[in-house]
Amino acid sequence: MLTKDFAAKVKAAGPGDGLEDGQFKAIVSVFGNVDVVGDVVIPGAFKNDLKRWEDSGDSMPVIWAHDWADPFSHIGEVLKAEEVEAGLQVTGQLDLDNPKAQQVYRLLKGRRVTQFSFAYDVLDAGWGEKDGQEIYELRELKVHEVGPCLVGANQETELLAVKAQRFASGLKAGRVLSKTNYERLVEARDALNAVLESAEEASEASAPEKTDEPSQTDKAAEEDEEPTHDGAPAKSSDATGSVARRALAVARIASLS
């Protein structure tokens, strides 16, 4: 499941805009806009899913900042969702007996929160072109929830990971990598390798010096080690950290394409 953030287009909020207390109307996804990873939501992308929600009889949740674990972050429900010319428009009702929902309502009316986001799965997508620029068309989406949010700290990481996955899939499918993009990727790879090497050197330099006399911690670790199939103790490693660092490097390289 992915999330996508947009500058909130709050069209109305509360009785002053002709709505009931606690209600808001906003565009939560904009059609035709090329975002930072080259995605473009295509008109009609929500049509089937809006029908699915309607047929289910369930209400689409309004959740603050995708905070699914906190029940108080489930601040309301979508009363109406429809595709309009600009994008996906929702009318929502906030639960004003919930203190968190009350605060979010005040932030929305005061324009102190200017981001909306929705969580979704991609059901149909593909490469396209717009104004001479290669884009990734989101043609059919399944929406799980919508809600106002601040820009999350993990936004860049998530977007880079998505970009890396798409880029790798595109190459496997036969997409041609231009000479310019290839050179940019090589340059980025070399720069990232240099950063990783420096980080590893710094980590090694800061590690405590080992002596011939094992410490109590070392002894305990040796006692806990499980033997391998050949009887030798299994060697511990920082494989997890290494994999994470290299995954981030790959994502950042791919994001430059």
Residue 138 pLDDT? 93
Judge contact between 2 and 122, C-beta under 8 A.
yes
Q: Which is more confident, 236 or 183?
A: 183
Residue 11 pLDDT? 61
Locate 154 and state its tokens: 């993990």
Span 178-230, pLDDT tens digits: 666 566 567 667 767 776 777 777 777 766 665 566 655 555 555 554 454 44
Query: Mean pLDDT, to the nearest integer, of 40-51?
Result: 96
Residue 232 pLDDT? 46
pLDDT at 18 over 70: yes
Categorize the per-residue pLDDT at 56 as very low, low, confident or very high, splitting at 50, 70 and 90: very high
Does an H or E element contain 248, and which? Answer: helix 239-255
CA distance 118 to 112: 19
Give residue limits of the domains in the chain. 2-151, 179-255
pLDDT at 101 over 50: yes
